[in-house]
Structure 1
Amino acid sequence: MDILMGFELVNPLSEMISFVGGGGKTTTMFSLATKLKEIDKKILVTTTTAIYYPSNNELFDEIFLTDQNDLKQLYSIKEGQIYLLGSSVSKEGKLLGVNPILLEEIYNMKIFDVILVEADGSKGRPIKAPAKHEPVVPPSTTKYIGVIGLDALFMEINSDIVHRIEEFTRIVEANIGDIIMPSTAARLITHPEGLFKNIPSSNCQGYVLLNKGEGEGFEAGREIIRLLEDNAPLFKRIIIGSMKYEKDIKFWRDFN
């Protein structure tokens, strides 16, 4: 299935999309950006936390490094281009985030068709729970995408698999060493302090991306969807996809 159809971005206009959780946020952002470039959209990729600077320069066309209010350079953007925005690049090769207030200003300028924001960090782990200060979501976010890597399913709860392990075990009511089951992921998704903790309350659509849905992960994803059917969800659609290897959406289910 088409990625843009899955996230309802076939003809986007003035969208700010925030990605939270674990399991492939950066890969998903650039996969969407590449597809949007193919239909000549003006795309900004950025973060309020930090992401690894892309090793493949073909993933973007130009980079802006600023956390200031001098935004005149943005008026020169062109259609069918991907722009990368950060405050600076660290010694570790990470693109450091910008202030959400700055992203609000850029969004209100209405010069980008789509702004893609990595609004959460997970240290490369497939699943996480947010700390008190997380995620850092711009208030004007129009689509909020919570990501879980299905490769976490049926693994033990430990620091190699789970980011923010203390918060995670409290939210999902489990212990370190327990096995992460589909029901564990379902609790993380529906808990008020879980995957949708800081979703803006108005004019924002929520999506769950169950990523790494190739192989056995697909059936695990379907089981999570089944468990959520009787809940009053905070999200509009749940998607099973493979953003890195198959670069595709395999299934989705609408909830409201």
Structure 2
Amino acid sequence: MAGPPFAAGILPFYYTAVWDRLQAKPGGGPLAQAAGFRYTESYITDAGKWGKEQAMNETLSSFLGVRPGVTALVGAGGKTTAMLTLAEELAKAGKKVIVTTTTHMFLPEEQRYGPVFSPEDTAGIAAALERTGLAVTAGPMDARGKLTGVSDKQVDNFLTLADYVLAEADGSRRLPCKTPGEHEPALPAKTGLVVAVLGLSSLGRPLEEVCFRAELAVRRLETQPDSPLTPEQLARLAAEPWGLAKGSEGRRFVILLNQSDACDPADLRRVVRAVKETSSARVVSAALKKKEWKEESIC
């Protein structure tokens, strides 16, 4: 197998054995890219120190089409993980990123993401952005131990401080799929991109066990609470105007199917095919905890 290209003046040394090993790693190297994965990790050494380089055109943010401004995440089955992955990527790229919620959100790890700032603490938020590129801000914690949401006016203020605002815009009770309630989603007025997240681990399991607001989903899908969720039904939960596409009119909309490592590839293809039959939305599949993702298309 050919070794890695040498980038004169950029990488003084590229360890070929590691390069060869990465070719076989899911999501690593040209061979994996040919199989559909475009997330790669290249381990390099510079002055004797090992590091990890991730090209921006291979990040989750590039696959989802995240641009400066407000990105709202809705759905279930990896929404918070997706948001924090995006935040880390963008901050590492030198951007200023604010993470927030318009509804409720569990407290992120302070050791990893820093303290949670009050939306009114502009000075504290600005200082965190200067220091690390990342700030988490939300309203006070409720009785369930979840952070509460911010207002449109506060989001507007965030846009004067940061390049990107990432906002959780609905709830899911930690279930892998959902359908929105009448009051959902709570999209900030200036949302430019809506990312709809669903967990593929919900497939084949009783709707009442895996779906938040299952009673609404039963009516909308015209099925039974104990019926196993099919790929076509999951596609409808994602792409129907009453589903996670709700409120995305006039905005960019992308579907993120998480937990692809817990799903039969044939079932994933059925979900994608069903989405594409009714929607022009981009579909990205991912195993977020493994940092693997790819754009899906119909072959």
Tell me whether the two structures share a fold, i.e. TM-score over 0.5.
yes
Cα 1:138–1:155 change in 2 (3 A) is same
Q: Mind listing any 5+ residue stretches in structure 2 that lack a counterpart?
A: 1-38, 40-57
Match of 1:186 in 2: 235
Give the alignment partner of residue 106 of structure 1, picking from 140, 158, 161. 158
Q: Mind listing any 5+ residue stretches in structure 1 that lack a counterpart?
A: none
Matches of 1:180 and 1:216, distance apart in 2: 13
Question: Does the 8 Å contact 1:61/1:81 carry over to 2?
Answer: no
Cα 1:190–1:63 change in 2 (3 A) is closer
Question: Residue type of the partner of 1:229?
Answer: K
Aligned length: 240
- SS at 2:130's partner residue? coil
Matches of 1:114 and 1:75, distance apart in 2: 13
Match of 2:270 in 1: 223
Match of 1:88 in 2: 140
Structure with the higher helix share, 1 or 2: 2
- Larger Cα-atom Rg: 2
Question: Does the 8 Å contact 2:98/2:158 carry over to 1?
Answer: no
Cα 1:81–1:118 change in 2 (3 A) is same
> Are residues 1:151 and 2:211 paired?
no
Question: Does the 8 Å contact 2:195/2:256 carry over to 1?
Answer: yes
> Are residues 1:16 and 2:70 paired?
yes
> Are residues 1:4 and 2:61 paired?
yes
Question: Residue type of the partner of 1:122?
Answer: S
1:83-112 deviation line (CA, Å, top 9, x unaligned): 0011112343311111233213433x2x31
Question: Does the 8 Å contact 2:116/2:137 carry over to 1?
Answer: yes
Cα 1:58–1:249 change in 2 (3 A) is farther
Give the alignment partner of residue 48 of structure 1, picking from 83, 99, 102. 102
Matches of 2:185 and 2:262, distance apart in 1: 30
Question: Does the 8 Å contact 1:239/1:249 carry over to 2?
Answer: yes
Cα 1:212–1:184 change in 2 (3 A) is same
State the shift of 1:138 in Å.
Answer: 0.7
Cα 1:157–1:242 change in 2 (3 A) is same
- SS at 1:78's partner residue? helix
Matches of 2:167 and 2:96, distance apart in 1: 14
Question: Does the 8 Å contact 1:127/1:152 carry over to 2?
Answer: yes
- SS at 1:214's partner residue? helix
- SS at 2:286's partner residue? strand
Give the alignment partner of residue 110 of structure 2, picking from 52, 57, 63. 57
| Runs of 4+ that moved beyond 6 A | none
Greater relative contact order (Cα < 8 A, sep 6+): 1
> Are residues 1:117 and 2:162 paired?
no
Give the alignment partner of residue 149 of structure 2, picking from 97, 110, 116. 97
Cα 1:79–1:171 change in 2 (3 A) is farther
Cα 1:52–1:198 change in 2 (3 A) is same
State the shift of 1:241 in Å.
Answer: 0.4
Matches of 1:71 and 1:210, distance apart in 2: 35
Q: Identity of counterpart residues, as a percentage?
A: 28
Question: Does the 8 Å contact 2:201/2:263 carry over to 1?
Answer: no
Matches of 1:251 and 1:220, distance apart in 2: 16
State the shift of 1:36 in Å.
Answer: 1.2
1:15-58 deviation line (CA, Å, top 9, x unaligned): 2110111111111111111111211111100001111112x323
State the shift of 1:74 in Å.
Answer: 4.1
Cα 1:210–1:34 change in 2 (3 A) is same
Matches of 1:80 and 1:207, distance apart in 2: 28
Cα RMSD for the two superposed structures: 2.0
Matches of 1:8 and 1:127, distance apart in 2: 22
